[in-house]
Structures are given as C-alpha cells and as structure tokens.
Structure 1
C-alpha cells in the first residue's frame, strides 16, 4: 500500500509521460487555448472593477502573459498577440480603431514577452520563484519596468489615435502602469507558486519525471486557529484601511500593510503571495462601490506598494529560513557526532575547550567580559558504580546531567570531561555571585535523592571554580586552576565549592556580609522609598507615582536596587522587603490623597518580584495592607514582569484574578524584554503595559526601537490596555509618544525619583508638561 506522497508522485509521473506523448503542435494549441480562455475570464472579472473605460483598479490578465511565457517558454510569446483581440471582440465588443488596436497588441506582446525573455534568458531566474534573487528580478522587471514601458507606449498610441486627450497623457500612463503592475504582483507569483505543486506542467523543461515539491492539503486542526486569526487580521486591516470614514487629511490605508507584512515575516513567500492576492481582491470588493474615480490613482499605487512590499518581505523571510535550515542540516549530525558525548549528549572535551578558547580570546579584547569555569567531580561515584553496576551508573550520570542543566542558563556550556567529571562554562557574568549561585544550586540539586529502578541513591559533588578576572592567556591554564580548586574542595571535606582566586573569595565573603546587613536593614529602618511621577501624555499632568526602593547603608551610603536585590532574592528576603515597600507606599499615597484633593485620585505603582508573586499568602497580605492603610484598591498598581507570569502561567491566572477582584490594577513591567506569548497574554486580566526604557530611550537612535514601541502601543490599544512608556528623557521622545497616542509616560524628562517631601511639593506645584 503506497503512502500519500508515493501516490502523488505516481500521478505526477503518469501525467508527465502522458504529456510527453502528446504531439508538440497539439500541446501548443491546447495550452494557448487554455491561456486565452483564462485570460478572457480574468478580463471579464477586471471589467467589473472598471471606473472609467479601459481603466481598472488592477488588471490581473497581464499576470497570465508572464506566467505563460515563464512556465512554457519564449516560444509561446506569439500567443500574447491574441489576447487584445479576445478583449476587443469577445469580452467587450468595443469599437476601437483597428490600427490603434494592432499597435496596442504589438506593444503589449513586445513588452511582456520581451520582459519574460529577459528574465529567463539573460537574468536566468527560476520561474518557480524559489530564491530571493528570482523574486527581486521578477518584481523589478515584470512588475515595475515592463508595465511602465507598456503603459507609456499604449497611452501614446491612444493619444495619437484621439482615443484619449494629450492633456491626460501622464495620468493615463500612471493608471495603466499601476493597474497592470498590481495585477501582475497579485496573481503571477500566486500562480507560479501553485504550479510548483504540479511539476508535470514543467515537463517541457525536464527529461526525467519531476518530483513533487509538495502535496496540496487542507490545513491541520492546529493551523486553523492561526489561519483564522490571520484572516481576521487581514479583514480588519482592509476594513480599517479602506472602509473607515475619511476626513480631509485622514488616511488609514497603511493599516492594510500590517497583516500582509506579518504574514510574510511569519510564513514566508508562499503565504505572502496568497495574502497579497486576498488583500487586493478584498480591497477592490470593498471600495469599488464607493471609492470613486477621484482617488483611483491613490488606491492603485497604494495596492501596488503593499503588494510589492509583501512579496519582497516574504521572499526575504523565506530566504532566511532556507539559509538557516541549510546550515543546520549540513552541520547538525557531523557536529554532534564529533563534539558530543555518546552517553549523555553533552559537549565533549574538544567542544568545551573550543568554547573556552573563544571565551578567553574574547576576554582579551573586552575587559568587561567575565566568565567562569566550574569543574564538577562526583564524590564516591566509583563506589556507587562498582556497587550497583555500570548500567545503573550510566543512568545515574544521565539523571545528574538533567539536574545540572536545570541549574544553568540555556546559553551556558556543560561538558562531560571524563568518566564522572563535568565542566561548565558560564559566560556574560555580571558578578562573582552569579557563579556562586550556580554552584549553590548544583549542590542543592545533587543533594536530593536519585531513584534508579527503585534504588534510592545519594551523591554529592566537589566543585572548583576558576574566574576570568584572575587573568588568563590560555584556556588550558584556566582548566588547570579549576581542577586545582576542585581538589582543594575535596581536601576540605567534599560536597562544597572552592574559588581558585583568593580575591574573588574575599568578594564572596563581602557578599555574605551584605546578606547579613540586609537581614538587619528592615529592623533598623534603613530602607527608603523614592517616588517617580507618572504623567498622562494627553493632559500633561501627574496621575500617580512609582515607588522605587533605596537602601541607606550605614557604611556604603545610598545603594540602588541593582546593588543588593540579587543578594536579597538569593537570601529569601525579597518577600519581606516587597511587603515593607508596599505598606509604606500605600500609606504615603493615602496621606497625599487626604492632604491634596485630586480627581481622579493619585495612584501608586509597586513592583512585585518573582518569589513574592508566587507566595500563597500574597493576596491576603495585600488585602490586609489596603485595609490597614485605608487606601482604595483602585489606586494601587502592581507591576509584574512578563517573565514572572509566563513562567508561572498556571497559577498566575488565579492569582491575578484574585488581585483583580480586589480592584487592584495590574501592570506588566518592562514589556518587550521578556518572552510573552500573545496567545496567553490576552487571557490574563492585565490593565496596563509598560514599555521598557531600553526601547524608549533609544527611540530616535534606532528605527527598530521606534517600530517596537509603535507595535506595543498598537497592541495595547487592540487588547484594550493602557500603555505607559518609561525612560522618557527628551522632548523629542515625548512628542513621538504623543503622536503614537501612548497613554502615560515617566522618566527623567518629567522628574528624577524624589523623596517623599519633594514628591509632595511637586504634587502641590501641579506642573503640566
């Protein structure tokens, strides 16, 4: 019994052989007849969108001219001489001058057949449009240059014959060019791509039966929601762009770009061609009844621009997809076999040393680039292996690898260096504490029992750490020091880590002191809250504040969160600190509300860390704080990073819903820097998005930042969410955000974070930006 693909190939081979048996002359006549019939049908359809005689919104029959010659060869070019007569005597029955008609026919044939010959013979494109170069050449020659050349000569011909006035020469040229160009762009790529699925059609080019490139199929159930979503987006773009009421200076046509570009980027050239066709048909059906001839040229060129952009972006996306796939396929198996351990699948010694050498060389060029090597040696593994057997010993190694991978980032490199030895390369470290946290996590994970076929096994590890800050010129030297540190850990009692560099060890001691100081900071009331105003960009007035934590350390002075938050999180103190900040901030804003009457009342934003958010008593705790401070819940905003709710999405929905039930407003902080899933995002009861300052502060320096900011603002509007831009520093940034209709903003342009007294004075001053 054959598979579907085998059956499809059998049909293709059968049709190939059948076609090869048809006499060439008969095959030529049959193809020309089919071409003329389809041409007449499309010509009739185009007439339904005719605004003035011989001027349509788009003219897809011209696409068939290119498809005929590109697919079946230049010898079919004479068939193009017949289509004008079909238009004149079969479709329209209009009374045109015969000489003008013949010239028109000759111009069209020479222009489009010549362009096709140029593409095939000189530029040597593949008419299946598989590569980016093929699409670019097709767009330039077939969509832009050839239709302009043909339109210009046609209009000269009609003007000379008195069919159109000389005064409208330029206008008619532009109409004809845009109509033909859009018709070709919307239909020709779609047909050429569709014919890939029918390889026997290309039998005149091959000597052997061609293989089927892909089977025509219905979308799977997993693809249906996405297709429906893209269809709705395309319909919404068309309705907004071409159906919305227009004022004197209003134009929404750019909305049609968004779904086309998204489809092209997401799926590549094939889907882009289909989307372009649907977009053009949808726009024409929507506007033909009411658009009128006064704006026809604007409509034509808008459709031409969207069509070309969609095809080019789709081709670029497909080219990138093909490049990435080719690289992956060519290197994957070879690299894996040569540089990975056969048992665990980890990197082997060779691959690890290659990564380490690269890190060392990079560290020589960039002194700020920090990395570390952890040498992990299992304690008593030989005893376990000898007692339980090598089979269970291998299972234990595989289980240990799983726990090691859970302790590091995906970008970190873990290698099996020997029988029971593992090495880990940690790159892009901000501080030695990052390395220590990894070592602590490894010790904690390995201290838990392993269950191997019903046998419970306990094991520990000694870890040696070598830090790049020590200064290394050779990767081998760094590995030597990590190995020495590991043996020192074993000599000190095993199940521990040792840092080779004594100065780094001193820094670890300082970190421990910092943790001790943190435990006393709340009791000693060393924490402070500064307040940064949040401004309505429409009114320019303060609508609330964000609470920002500071630590007035008795010896080190004023510390910012980046200097102690990671230590507090590791020490399990962040929940206590968050609770203190929330209580103080709620109390302060409630006092300001009583002392300074504002409508609507000022709000206060408080950040909630990951560990605090996942605490089971979070909702009762916040409810109690609101009761104790007498603050209305609607005046409290909780800022949560998108990663927090995405990583805990199962429990996050319940927690957010309970907070929402209290009346609290929920904000996703630093939006755009995490990995939000849009399919999940809209399910959470979120009220507001905060655009990360990294996009806003560089909005003028980087076009991508501007585009991302615009997209987030638009996304917020689509989801019914308020959007706040943080990090506004200049008047120009403020003007751009106002133009985007961003709701709120904060940043140094309005005010630095202020002490409580300074913030109160600012409220009283009631500035307006």
Structure 2
C-alpha cells in the first residue's frame, strides 16, 4: 500500500461502499498460524518419540546385558562347583553322588532359564551349544544322570580329560557372553543412528521454521506493517491540514478496506474544509470575500515575494473603504429584507467597477472595501472611486421601490511608514470617516495630519476617563469686581486639567471632548463640590467675604440631564454652600439650542435656590418676549461688544441698549473681557456695576486668590501673575 496525493473528492453525506474483498488477512494469517502450530507439534512429537526411542534402546540393551551377565555368571559358578564335585567322584567313588545329581538338575534348570532369557546368537555359540557340550562332557566320563550310580571304582585317570572337557564348556559359555556383548554393541549402534535421524529431523524442521519466518516476515512487512505505516502517515498528513492526501490500495483485504474508508473520510474532510473555508472567508449575503479574506490579501501584499527584497518584493495596493450613506434609514423604513436586497445589488455594482486583479469585500453591515492593484508609478484608486460614484448615480429598484443611494469613500495608499495591513485599513477607515463628516457622497484620501489630530483626541478621551478619579483636575478662580469700588464680589471657577504628560490643559482643550464622551457630568460635579466648598471656607475665614458668590459653568449637554439637578441638590444640601451664593452659568447658545429656549431647565435649577447667569449674552438676537420669560438673575455680556473697533462698530450704542434692557427686566449685568482702562471707563459711564477681565485680575489658583481676598485689595489695575 503506497502513499500518494490526489484530489479525488466524495459527495458529502454519500454512503461509502467498498469494492469486493479479494484477500482476507484473517484467513491468511489464521492458516499461517495453524501451519506454524502444526510444525511445532510435529517437531515436538518427533523429538519426544526420538528421545524416547533412544532411551528405550539404551535401557533395553542395558537390561539384556545385566541379565546375560547374571545368567552366565550363575552358570559359570554352578559349572565350576559341579566340575569340582565330578573330580571327587572320579577319584573317590564314595563321594556324595546325590549332591552331584542335584547339581546337574540345578545346572539344567539354569540352562533352561538362560535359553529362555538370552536371545539366540546370530554369530558364535548359543546357550544350547554350551548345554550340549556340557552334557556330552559328563556322559563321556560316565558322570551324566544314571551313569553316576553305575560308576565302577576309581577313575581318577579320566580327571585330566574331564578337566579339558570342562574347560571347553567354559570357553563355549564365554563365547555366549561375547555374543551378547556384540548384540549390545549393535543395539547401541542403532541408537546412534536413531539419534542422527532425530538431529536431521530437527535440523530440517528448524530450516523449515527459518524459511517460514522469513517468508511470513516479508508478508507481514508487505501486507501489515507498510499499510499500517501508510495509514499513520496519511493520518499525520490529514492532521497537518493536507486534505488532498490519499492512500493507494493494492490488495483488497481488511487493511485495503480501511484505506478506502480513510480516503473517503479524507475526501469528506476536504469537502468540509473547502466549504468551511469559503464560509469563513466570504460573506453569506453577497457572496463577496469578508474581512478575513481582505486582511489575508492585504497581509500578503506586505510580504516580500520569493526571491524579492523588502523594497521591491511587496505588491503596491491601495485600499478603498466604502460606507453607504444613511443606510439605517433604508432598514428602518423598508425593513431589513429589502435592505439586504439593496446590499446585494450594491455588491454587484461595486464588482462591475473593478478589474480582475482587484478585490471587493464586505466588511459587515453597510461597509465595503476594495483592494486596488496600483500601476507602477500611477494611482488608480481615485479612478475606481470615480467609477463607483458614477455607478451609484443610477437608481436601485428593490421590490418596486426606487432608491437613490450614495456612499462615502475613504482611500489609503500604502506609504513607506505603513507598517502592516491593519494600519492600512485604519487609515482607509479614517479617510472614510472624514468623507462622511465632510458632507457624505464624497471621496477622501487619507491625511496623516488629520489622523494624528484624531489620534491625539482619542488619546485625550481615553485619559479623560480617569482624570477625576486620578485627581488630575485643578481649579482656577477669576475675580468678579464691583467696577466702582474695586471690591471683589464674586469668583468664576475655571477648570484646568493637569495632564500627566501634556502638562496643564485649558478647558477649550478637553471640555468639548468631555461633552462627547459624557465625562462632562463627572467633571461638573467635581467642580461644583470643590468650588462651593472652597468659597464656603473663604466666606467663613476671611473678613469682608461674607457675601462672596461663586459661579460654575454648566454644559449645554447637561441641561436636560436629571443628574445635573441631583448634583446641584447634593451640593446645596450643605448649609455652608449657601444656595443664593451659587451662580450657575449657562451660555446663550446652549439656551437657544434647547427645546423651549431653556426656560424649563432654568426654572428647575432656580427652584433649588441657586442663581442663574446667562453667559455670553448679546451674541444672538433674542426672540420677542423670550427675555421676560427667562428666569435669569445675571447677564454676562460677551466681551466681543467691548472689542469692537472703527466708527461703524462703536460699542456704546449696543451696550447702552443691553444695559437699558437689563434695568427694565431687573437683571444684574456682569461685563466680561475687560482688558483696557477705556473699556472700564465706558462700562462705568453706562452704569455697569460688576465686571471681570484681565485688566482687573487674571484667573489664578486658590492660594493666590485667597491671598488677594485676605489682603482686601481693590481691583482696578491689579492683575494676578
């Protein structure tokens, strides 16, 4: 089974059907193991039978040898005793003949036993020959059986002959013993042959076992190990994401079926991977590439090409960020289904405006992006943007509704300092934001200075969120003086921000940002509490300051906020704050922007006991009857009236009209922006009693203002350094 790469794909959800099996590993290896078991059993049986045969032959030969030695030894002893007694009878007829006869009978019995136990000799004398020679020897000398009783006298002369015959009998008996030893040698020789046969059989079985081992090892490597290794290799390839990897099948056996199943699984995984990849990189509504595909394309453009260098290897691409103007109104008025239909048509038009190498992507909602391949030395991003605007001039038709759609386009072109794809996308997004705020239906190229300013504002917004908690805010106080006597009658609290890295920032640098982020509420609460407590302390500790009032500015965004009323109530709950000594300043522009001219808001604030001042009064033409209904205690006349120059811009008439109007309505006037003695003299001449400005005193920290109050100085040309 070999490993190969292929791209065969299966139909997802289709059942896998394996081809018919032509081989069976189970059957083959079962037979192999049975044959090996039979070989082992045969070898064991041959060994057992051979060993038992060899041992049996040796034992039988030994038993025969022992028996023959016993029989021949008994015969030899009996024959020797009988010969001795025969010699006595030959020399002395009176010897014990009965004993002699008894010995003959005993020897005959021994010969009978020896003839039964000892086999017939193949060569040499047999036991019968020895018996016959023994009988003939006795008979020839008259000593056999009944001859003994008829023996005539002394026959000693026959003793030598009898001795010779007896010796011949013993010689024959010894020949019988030698014949037994020869039979024993033959049995041992057969045993050696049997041993050789056994060794040869074992060697043959071993050779067969070795051959079978090599054969089955080769079959195991080919049919088991290699397929299993191939499957493991394929699994590792699949785990590594190489979903096109397939395994070749050369045998239709169990492992072949497993390989086929693996290939089917790999094909299904590949199909699922392709489908999931398409889903992950494409928008389900429009079919366009999504943000992930866009970032992959942009990231690839920042990577050097193979063989290229960092300077010339990267592709030059521009990026267009597109946002449909007022698309929320389409969804709200026509519904999301028609809004989706509009986006589908819009995606088609965007694709018709680009070239084959460009990429149109949907980022989400009504946001699209286009990666534009730039020509060498020429930017075509602007041309694509122009084609898009032209394409959008034609109306869209959605479910019978005729819709006119515009879009704001932001463009960013890659520069040497553009670090990565995410930064290029942020630049294009910022350019689109600038186009949106520049009037919509526009094309805006990224401006680095504007972006830096926006980043600066964003950083300030982020730092502003912790300014109050980190105790970074500071208060400065500008005195408000009686213009006739120079006495300090009030103070205006002005907030500053001691930024940890930018230093001291004025209110114009951060209060507009606080209004955007909502931090203005926390800042105003801190100013109210700090300023009223400081003023209460000065009224209590410094002589002549018992009637000193403190003015705090409110933002126009706080007018409709109930939290503002709650903050003022919390501050005035302290009796030392003295509600009639707190002046809440609201700009005339903020009142004009409110729904009823600010009357309801000022009425609610005034009901808490505080005094109300309209800051920057006189910058707008008041509506008839609105001034009389305005619950204001003070008008702070804008310093622009005093700064007018030229014969046609004399401030006297306008100031005189404002002063007369204030007297008629019973409202106190505070002049702002007094910067010259002439302006001070003019205000005195017009009957303006109170004012503030750099001529009288600049804003200063609490320590310097406290020293000024404690000195009892009269303000006319006194300035706080």
* Higher RCO structure, 1 or 2 (CA under 8 Å, sep 6+): 2
Q: Provide the TM-score with structure 1 as the length reference.
A: 0.38
Q: Provide the TM-score with structure 2 as the length reference.
A: 0.40
Based on CA coordinates, which of the two structures has the bigger radius of gyration?
2
Structure with more of its chain in helix, by fraction: 1
